[in-house]
Every structure is written in structure tokens, then in C-alpha cells.
Chains A and B, each alone.
Chain A
């Protein structure tokens, strides 16, 4: 099976029902994408599939096909991803940081589709991502800052 992750094609020999998360973490060895719940409840495992945010813990790798997978390690190469990461740093969003890869992937996808998100847009895009440290106020502020930044 072949899968394209962060612009590179990987030949992998795994069962097709294996969630993409474990391919990314345990086969490819990219550990920025996190395991949180395994049932698409927390968003820590969020990656992009052709730019769309998906929960990789429930996505069988066999369904990825030719769609390009982007993870936290390369999201900074996209315009929205870079803006989001810069705002995250400027506002010192993170605490423990474990959920933040997923938060950033969700926020980057939001900004890509909705350059000037409202509070409601932010609620809709980000409420699938749990942060146990409670960085939600900082995340909201950082998304708004990223939206008005020049990148």
C-alpha cells in the first residue's frame, strides 16, 4: 500500500483497517500527531486529508487512497498553518501541549476555509478538540489574531 504523508510517498505493509494515526506514529515515526481517545472524541489526532481536517484515530489507512496527508510537522508550510502557529506562539496558547497539534490542525483548516471566522465559526470548527488544560480562551484569541495577521 502507498500513502502520501507530508509530500512523500511511503510504501507500507499494514492491514487496511489500521487507523491512519498508528501508521503515522508507529510505522512512519512522526509522533507530533497524538493519540487521545481512539473514537474521534478529542481531536488530538487531527490531520489534514487534501486540506480537510480528519480524526486519524478512526480513519482506516486503506481509505486514504491518493489523498495527501498533512501532519503537524508540515502544517507550517501552508499559509494558514504558519499564521496559526505564529499566533499560537505570540499569545503563548499552549500549556501541557498534548492536544495542541490537533488544535492547530483544526484551526489551520478553519482559517483556510474561513479567513475571518466569527466566534460561532470558531465554536463549530474547534469544539471537537478537547483541551484538558483549558486553553480555549487563548485558542480563540489566537485564531482571531491569525485571521488579521499578514502571515
Chain B
């Protein structure tokens, strides 16, 4: 367990992003492994010694742990904290082997340093794909063990006693025969002079003191009293405030700006033009916003000026029917299996464009000086942040300092750095530091969107109702192609586009999964749950259609196909049992189920809901069963299950980004709705005890939300909705009237201000 799951330090010194000359994509069981294999000595060494024990030459313990009398024990956390509880999770990994309590340490965010902090599952210093704990599982425990070994050696040297007579606990080294003790903070300097051990033994899971225990969030106390600092909260002396309007049509350019009225707004300091946007700088955000509102901007809207969602969906449909598919998986005799089938089912599923809508709008505090640049920002990709600022300012990367901050919601939004490039382009035109904050409308209308998908799926069922053939034709964009700095060549399979479909948990006699690439002309990126959030919806919704056609119970039908996936079968049985699956329900109620195994984890969910004659859906209760392997922090797992589920339910019930005249039509939470407290049912989470490899937890529940919900609607109403956000009008018993809260909400900020003024006067 200690050496199998990951490479060793000396063998995995990653290349910096810019020096990657060749890449290839590998697929690993249980989630995605994106390996950037540069033709460097390191990859050759890695290939030459695949079974070598962990060697630690070249390891810099100070990259992860700093100990001083002044600052105490400080852990440098490689991944970005954006709510997923990674500060605590990764601190637990280090502290477990370091032999320190979480109450004895402080954590800070790692600076950009690809050599030290590359996530080995992503091949980049990045936070995403539910990889952080999985990738850190070995290296961070090693970092703790190495440092503990050096601390003990330093104490033994000071006492002139054998190392074997010393042990460490709670950040104290004890010489057992004499009972003498030395604190880590007093040993720090001497310890880091000790030779770095070349081998360290890691604890057996039976000896874990921290890992596996329900543990409260380290930064929790700062997040309940206003002291936690997010990027948007950063302040430096002399700082001014800015806000931005980019061309509302994607790909368009700034043509002309009439500044006169804006210059007259009190508090407006400067107006800055860049290629595709204009920024107003003021004494405070309000002045900047008022100034921006007063600008008369003319845009060169470019090729997308007439773009509509309908066109984009038509392009997907056309590509699905006429495009050249890339085969992801082709097993068995598909044609023969369909010929033998007694029933054939065909369905088309559609998924919309989605925005991330993080609670913290996009922001960057940046100061560009002649010879350096300093940036305070919350980013999932600190090295990209540094690189893009270097490129835009013309400074060498080492002259760009990035102070990564707590993120008020990531979900993939901050896996791109183009907003930091925009900030640099603006800031390099002024001498003083500026904090750029986007309005909510700017944030919604200039996101990098989860792309739409159009999938045609078919199954042949035998006389017993069980599948003989399964064909999933996927059509959509390559998110990976947008993410990789070099793009993804045409004709190459994007593993993300088929993830959750290609390697689904079921045993089908004949399987064909293919993908037609169709990239839209608007920005796209990762969105929580990535490939599985798209594919599991299609696979699991269609499984229910198959069970229905077979006249079988959806749980029993799945179980009959899960022989090769015992962990999935296990969570399915657990969720069914805990949800009271099979117990009678009143008229208008239904239970839906779905399962999947992605990100190295296995999950099943059951949603119970009711549908009124009006079509209105009321969520009654939700049960989630998760087997994520060895569970590092049950508190975090439960939070990610319920929170991830709510994130996915929001999408399934409400979310859709649409375009007209090349512009995103949604602008705020009134027309891009979120699930709220009054719509959230009780959610019970059950964690399967396991000693299997650690799995990812941040996205599994999001991926399962929409299919579970759709299947529950199907059970309650008999109507299979194959497109989300689910259209409740289709669920109306008659033309029953329904008051939609969203339709009553004000949309114009000016109206809201006027109402507030009237109310208070």
C-alpha cells in the first residue's frame, strides 16, 4: 500500500508547463490520468525503473513543511482550497506521518512551482478532476515521514543518543530512556541541516491517528467571522478598483468608446481599453461600475454576431448524424446482437450549455511594475496564472509573483487563466495596483461554459429483457482540446468526452461507444463532474428505460448486470436498503436510482420526490451511498456528497445558458437559478468502510444527480425527460396553472434599487 500507488519524488520531477514538448494521454482505471510525457530524462528513468522503491534524492522537505520558532509548523498545501476541504485533507496526509496534530500546524497555499507541486494525475500544478487527495496520497505522506525522520535525527544528534531510542508524537521528539523532550519548533533549523533520508517507511493504515477520522475544516473558524481572505478581499496600499465589460459577442473586438459621460462620474479615475474589452477604474467598485454603465461602447462583433443556441444544437445534431465518429470502445458483434434482440430501444438525450456561477465573481488584484508583476488571485492553475501574466506583460515568469487565495467556488471556472491575462493587459497600462472585480452579469456572460451534448443511444433487449447490445453515439466538444496548451488533434479520442460511458459498470454482451467531435465557437471548459456529469446522465437514464421496457425493477435490473462491478453493486444495495426502496408510495410520488463508478469511487443515489398536477417537483428525500476506498475524512466526504448532489440538482432543474445574437441571454441568479434552502430535502450519506485505494469525492455526487432525479420523475409520472433542465410543463396533468417564483423576481438592478429606496423611505 505504501509504494504501489504512486511514483517517487526523484522519478517524478515534472517538467514546467512551457517545456512540455510531447504529450500523450493515458487512461487509468478508476478515473482519468492525464500524463504529460515529455521526452525528458525523468520519464525515461521512470520507465526504466518501474518497480524501484521510492527514492528521495532531490526531495526538498521545505517545499511542503517549514518549521521555525517564529512561524511554528507551516504546511504548504499543493492544491487550491475552493470548498472541497483540501487544506484539511492534505494537511492530514502530511501531519499523519509528521506526527503533529492539526491543532499544531498552520497551512498556506503553495506558490506556482511546477517542479514541486505538480498534481501527478493531471500532469500540471492544478486542482481539478477530483484528483487532489489521490495524487497526494503517497508524496505528502512521504514528505511528512521524511521531515519527521530528520527531526528525530536532529534531536538524537543534540542528545548524542542513537536515533532508535527516540520517537516523535504531537510535534515533540522524546528520548525514551531518559524522558528528555524537544519540540519540533526548537528543532526546525537543525533538522533541515540533516541529510534527507533516501527511504522512509510509511504507517500501516491500522496505525493512522488522523486519516480516517471525522475532522473539522482547518480554515473553518476564519470562514464564520469574516476574516477568511478570498481573492476579492485582498487589499494593498494605493490600490484602485476596476470593473470590466468585454465584448458581449464571443470573439468580437472593441471598436470605439465614448468616455465623456463616464469621466464625469464622481470617483472615476481612468478608462482602459484592451483588444476585446474596456475597463473603468475608480475610487471604489461602485464608481467603476457607474462609470462603466455610462460608457458608450461600440463593438466590432465579428463572426458570431448572429449566433444562437438553436444553431449550436443544430450543429450538434448534424455532426451526430453526419460526422465521423471516433470509436471509444467496440466489443462484440453489435449487428448480430441487434438482430437477435426481441426489442430495440432508441433514445436521444440532450444536455445544455452551463455556467459555473461561482458565488465569488471573477476578480484579480494585480500590480504591474516596469520590472515585476504581483498578483493576488484565487486560481486552480497557479502556473498558468503566472505564465499568462508573463506573456501579457513581457516579463520573465520568475518576475511574476502569484499569491494564491481561498476560492469562493471553483467547479472548474478557475481552471483557466484568461481572466488573469485580461487583468494583466489592463493593469500594465497603469502604474498603480488595481483590483478588478467582474459584475455578476459579466461573470455569467463571459464564463467558459460546460458544452452542450447530443447523444443517441440504443439497446437491444433479449426475450428476458436483458441487454444484448448497447450503442452510445456521443456528440459534443472536446473540453480537453481547449484545456491542453497544444490542443487535441482531430481524430484523437478525448477520454473526457466518453468518460462514464465508455467504461460504465455494466456487463453488456456487445458494446459500441463512439464520439463525434463538434467544438462550438464559444469558450468552453471543465465543469464539476466533467465527462461523467454528461455521460452518466445518459447511461443511467437509459438504463431505467431499459428496465422499464423489460418490466423489471430498476435496482434489480442493474444488479443483474453488475457482476463485474461488486463495489458498485454493493453501494446500490446499500442505497436501496437505506432509502426504503420498494416500500409503497402515495400517488404522485416516485423513487429514482442511479449508480456510477468514476474518479476512483463508486456511488449510488436514490431520490424520492412528488410531482404535483401542476408539474411542480417537490424533492422529498435523498440517500447517497459512497465507496470512495480508504476514506481520509468522513466529514469532507459527507459534505461533498450532499453538496455535489445539490450542485447537480441545480443543473438538472434550472440551469441553461442560451445565446441570441451571439450574446448569452442570462445575467444573474434571477434567470440562472440556483437550488435554495426551501427546495432542498434531507440528504443522508452512507460511507462504505474500505481499505481500497483512495478515490475522488468532489464530483461523483454531481454526476449522479440528474439521472437519479430524472429516473424519480419517470417513476412518479411515467414520463421520461431526456433533456435537462427538466421541463416541468411536460409534467402537468392538465393545463394547471403554476406560479413560478423566478418569473416574479425583478431583473433590472435599477428597479431593485428603486424598490429598496421606496421601501425604506
Interface check A94, CB cutoff 8 A: yes
Q: Is the CB of A32 within 8 A of B753?
A: no
Interface check B745, CB cutoff 8 A: yes
Q: How far is the CB of A37 from chain B (nearest CB, A)?
A: 5
Q: How far is the CB of A13 from chain B (nearest CB, A)?
A: 10
**Residues of A within 8 A of B (CB-CB), count:** 66
Q: Is the CB of A137 within 8 A of B224?
A: no
Q: Is the CB of B226 within 8 A of A37?
A: no
Q: How far is the CB of A33 from chain B (nearest CB, A)?
A: 7
Interface check A99, CB cutoff 8 A: yes
B136-144, B174-182, B529-537, B672-680: which one contacts chain A?
A: B672-680
Interface residues of B in 388-428 (CB under 8 A from A): 406-411
Interface check B64, CB cutoff 8 A: no
B359: A residues at CB distance < 8 A: 34, 36, 42, 44, 96, 98-99, 130-132
| Complex: A139 Cα to B84 Cα, angstroms | 17
Q: How far is the CB of B616 from chain A (nearest CB, A)?
A: 15
Interface check A53, CB cutoff 8 A: no
**Which one, A17, A42, A100, A123, contacts B678 given CB within 8 A?**
A123
Q: Is the CB of B677 within 8 A of A129?
A: yes
Q: Is the CB of B235 within 8 A of A31?
A: yes
Interface residues of A in 83-140 (CB under 8 A from B): 85, 88-89, 92-101, 104, 122-124, 126-140
Q: How far is the CB of B271 from chain A (nearest CB, A)?
A: 19
With A39-B670, A88-B224, A132-B358: A137-B83 Cβ-Cβ less than 8 Å: no
| Complex: A147 Cα to B278 Cα, angstroms | 49
Q: Is the CB of B752 within 8 A of A40?
A: yes
**Which one, B409, B439, B643, B757, contacts A60 given CB within 8 A?**
B757
**Which one, A58, A59, A122, A123, contacts B749 given CB within 8 A?**
A58
Interface check B662, CB cutoff 8 A: no
Q: Is the CB of B643 within 8 A of A95?
A: yes
Q: Is the CB of B286 within 8 A of A96?
A: no
Q: How far is the CB of B682 from chain A (nearest CB, A)?
A: 7
- Chain B interface SS verdict (over half): loop
With A73-B226, A96-B408: A134-B286 Cβ-Cβ less than 8 Å: no
Interface check B232, CB cutoff 8 A: yes
**Residues of B within 8 A of A (CB-CB), count:** 72
Q: How far is the CB of A60 from chain B (nearest CB, A)?
A: 6
Q: How far is the CB of B757 from chain A (nearest CB, A)?
A: 6
Interface check A38, CB cutoff 8 A: yes
Q: Is the CB of A40 within 8 A of B756?
A: yes
**Which one, B85, B224, B682, contacts A100 given CB within 8 A?**
B224
A18: B residues at CB distance < 8 A: 284, 286
Q: Is the CB of B361 within 8 A of A35?
A: yes
With A97-B223, A129-B677: A31-B753 Cβ-Cβ less than 8 Å: no
Q: Is the CB of A63 within 8 A of B670?
A: no
| Complex: A132 Cα to B650 Cα, angstroms | 9
Interface check A7, CB cutoff 8 A: no
- Chain A positions within 8 Å of B, measured between CB atoms, are 14-15, 17-19, 22, 25-27, 29-42, 44, 55, 58-60, 63, 71-73, 75-76, 85, 88-89, 92-101, 104, 122-124, 126-140
The 6 closest A-B pairs by CB, nearest first: A32-B226, A134-B646, A98-B408, A96-B83, A97-B223, A95-B83
Beyond A39-B440, A97-B228, 11 extra complex contacts between A and B, CB < 8 Å? A22-B284, A32-B227, A35-B437, A42-B669, A59-B760, A63-B757, A92-B639, A133-B647, A135-B639, A137-B680, A137-B682
10 CB contacts below 8 A, A to B, read A18-B284, A22-B284, A38-B439, A39-B746, A42-B669, A60-B756, A94-B220, A98-B358, A122-B677, A136-B677
